[in-house]
Amino acid sequence: MVSSSIYIPILAFTSLVALQSPAAPKKGGNPEAAKIKNPVAATAESIAAGKRAYQRLCVKCHGPEGKGDGSAATGAVPPDLTDAQSDYGSSDGDLFAVIHDGTSPDMEGYAGRLNDTEMWNIVNYVKTLRQR
Ligand code: HEC
């Protein structure tokens, strides 16, 4: 009895998060994506988790500091993530949309492999790479 009641709030939380479907990434930024609020606070834990995921999944193309100097990019050169401007918009929601959906054909989306929280952690980390 006690153990099953523990799962109810967890399930409710998970389905709420799953309902959030981001707008597709668009060149110039998608106003719908910009409206998506980042639900994950940029705590040290979130940024550290995002960094681990970035190193596992993104470094090969975007490079260790996000300068676009990874070696695995095929086709288009990965953009510099350290400037505040992005072809796909610079809001948290735009970053999330790119990570979620990818930018066909140059970058695959991660929606099938990462959950939303993991992708927001990456958003929080990628923003720390910006130097302005
Ligand atoms: C296979 C190589 C590759 C991998 C792996 C990859 N990317 Fe990309 N990424 C690209 C390319 C190439 C573009 C540019 C696409 C375009 O302009 O259409 C891009 C675009 C982006 C953009 C848009 C930036 C801008 O200025 O427009 C962001 C943000 C981004 N990637 C983040 C990530 C993150 C975070 C990961 C890991 C979860 C990741 N990428 C994994 C190749 C990759």
pLDDT given for residue 3 in this prediction: 58
How far away, in angstroms, is 119 Cα from ligand 1 center? 13
106 close to ligand 1 (CB < 6 Angstrom): yes
Q: Of ligand 1's atoms, which has the minimum distance to the CA of residue 85? A: 26
- The pLDDT confidence band at residue 17, using thresholds 50, 70 and 90, is very low
pLDDT given for residue 100 in this prediction: 95
Question: Distance between CA 115 and CA 89 in Å, rounded?
Answer: 22
The letter for the amino acid at 123 is V
pLDDT given for residue 19 in this prediction: 43
How far away, in angstroms, is 85 Cα from ligand 1 center? 13
- The pLDDT confidence band at residue 22, using thresholds 50, 70 and 90, is low
| Token pair belonging to 89 | 């918009």
Residues in the chain: 132
pLDDT given for residue 45 in this prediction: 98
77-92 mean pLDDT: 87
* Closest C-alpha among 67, 41, 53 to residue 118: 53
How far away, in angstroms, is 62 Cα from ligand 1 center? 7
Question: Distance between CA 119 and CA 106 in Å, rounded?
Answer: 18
Q: Of ligand 1's atoms, which has the minimum distance to the CA of residue 25? A: 23
Residue 113 has pLDDT above 90, yes or no: yes
